A and B are shown apart, each in its own frame.
Chain A
Amino acid sequence: MALLSNAAILLEKELRTEYRSRELLTTTVVFILLVFMLFSITFHPTGSESQQFGPGLLWMAFLFAASLMLQACFLREQTNDTLSALRLTVSDPFAIFFAKLAASTLFLLLTELFMLPFFAGFFNVRILRVLPQLFVVFFLGSLGIAIPGTAFSAISAQARMRELMLPLLLLPVLTPVLIASTEVTAGLLNSEPAMNYAGLGLIIAFDVVFLTALWLFGEYLLEE
């Protein structure tokens, strides 16, 4: 119970600081919008090309935006060494990770849902009929990005060349979740939408494995 209580308190802190600064949400929304615009202007995709490449582009944009967002996740705690204060006060260090990955998932999900109409507009795809299913994929995919992302953010925040370190660590690890999320999204954006349950299962398995690993070994990532 102490874990959940501490995590809830820390999540509230994450939401409050983001509400005041709006740094993460603004940056990621602008970044994804730029990717959509540049791709649309450069390639002028036809309807069938949009269906073929759109989901991949969508998740690539989410992934790069997430790596920007996750960079700040633990870097913010370095400024005044607040991570040390948290380590001294929480009874279970996993509460720190739990709160951060919950906040990152929420911010990513909000960004993705906000950007979805823009994607539909730029690439002429129909989303309204599969909106609930897309929400499920976006949630599980965002969680899949946020769990290892939070862990690697803790590692890279203490490293030299930290800005380069996070994408270098994160992108290869996220390949399975990227492929699965793209395939599930592609199935939903088809002319005859269908849920790819195998892909969805893969994302869930990925989330469970990495969450367990973070729960078991997260404490060591916070040590100096």
Chain B
Amino acid sequence: MVFCIVAIVVFGILGIFSAKYRTYFKEALRCVARQATLRKCDTDFDNKIKSKIVSKLIGKSPKMAKFVYKRFSAISWVFVVIMFASIGLTVFGVVNAVLYGNCNGEESTELCLLNPGTTGDGGFSSIGGSITKELKAPSADDDPRIGGENSSVTIIEFGCLECKYTKKAEETRKALTEKYGNKVKIIFRNFPIPSHPLSREAAEASECADDQGKYWEYHDKMFENQKGMTIEKMKQLAVDVGIDGEEFNQCFDSGKFRDEVEKDRQDGLGAGIYGTPTFFINGMPIVGPAKIEEFTKIIDEELVNTGSAIQEVTMQKPVVDVCTE
């Protein structure tokens, strides 16, 4: 009975691909149905499968075969518990992925297998598609920047103001600014993620703030208030950082920077970006809110080569950790 419950799920899935497993599925289903109605299972299904498993094991490890033969029921129970736990976690993950773009929950920055390519210690918001596509260094454009204008190291960050991973990477960005000062130039380019409902609006709002010379103040404020963001809140935050509210509202409501945001996004797509945040340090990509050591290692190397220009670099397997659609 216990094994048949596991078998229904396992062979049900395998049965989609092979008729052989459909027979097993039917036998398991019949067994469970009969026992659920207090009748004896007449298929002897669990015994058959136990014997098949033991027949494979006995030639390789008689001890293991004996253990499975004698403890099959207990082993079945373990699998039932694991199966239901897996189903529960999968449903939880899918719901989170749909609602928040990360299967681990709204606040989590943990690895999520539903998000392609997460191999680091953080997450990323994906735009979907293949993660193996090449990343090519983009142009800096005229987007907001901080640090030394003539520095030999340029970091271009593609981020989403609604993405929690971009928010997490802010700590690193600030630490780098503090550490390197004018030796490094950091440029923030918008890459709104569609699964975040107000990401495009947030990007346009930040451009309006830049229009009034208050970009970084507004940028920080937006991340501080990322949770539960609304249009009204965006407008209020602008006022809070000392921006002229009327001018800001006019800028925002007219969609003045809509094309600019779209250009950022297209440049990002052209660079092969599949999630936010994605950084290019003199063209070397880092995907996700990686550890600061990963950044400093590259920056220090680049600083040694003083005066090196931004080069186009192609990587098959970039360092991965981002926010995607």
A binds B: no
Interface on B for A, CB 8 Å cutoff?
Answer: none
Listed in ascending order, the chain A residues whose CB lies under 8 Å from chain B are none
